[in-house]
Amino acid sequence: MTKRLVEVDDEKLEAVRRLLGTQALKATVAGALDEVLALDHRRQELLAERGAPSAALADPHERDAAWG
C-alpha cells in the first residue's frame, strides 16, 4: 500500500461517506474504490452475456452499441 497526498472535494467525500455508511477517510476511499471495481465487474459480465467483448468498455461508441 502506498501513502498519497491528494486534494479531495469535501462535498463529494461527505456524499460518498453517507452512501457507504463510513466515517473514516480511509474506509470511505477504500469502499469507493471497491464499488468502482465491482461496477466494472458487473458491466463486463453483462456485456459477456450479450456476446460483446470486454474491450467494448474501452471505446465509448462500441460500449453504446453493446448496450443497445
> Over the stretch 25-34, which tens digit does the pLDDT of each residue have?
999 999 999 9
Give me the domain span that covers residue 35.
Answer: 10-67
- 43 inside domain: yes
What are the helix (H) ranges across 1-68?
A: 10-20, 25-49, 60-67
Question: Is residue 20 within 8 Å of 38, Cβ to Cβ?
Answer: no
- 60 inside domain: yes
Number of domains in the chain: 1
- Is pLDDT at 54 greater than 90 in this prediction? no
- 31 inside domain: yes
Cell of 50: 450479450
In this prediction, residue 25 carries a pLDDT of 95
- 4 inside domain: no
- 1 inside domain: no
- 5 inside domain: no
Task: Return the amino acid letter for 41.
Answer: H
Cell of 18: 453517507
Question: What CA–CA distance (Å, rounded) separates 17 from 24?
Answer: 8
pTM greater than 0.85: no
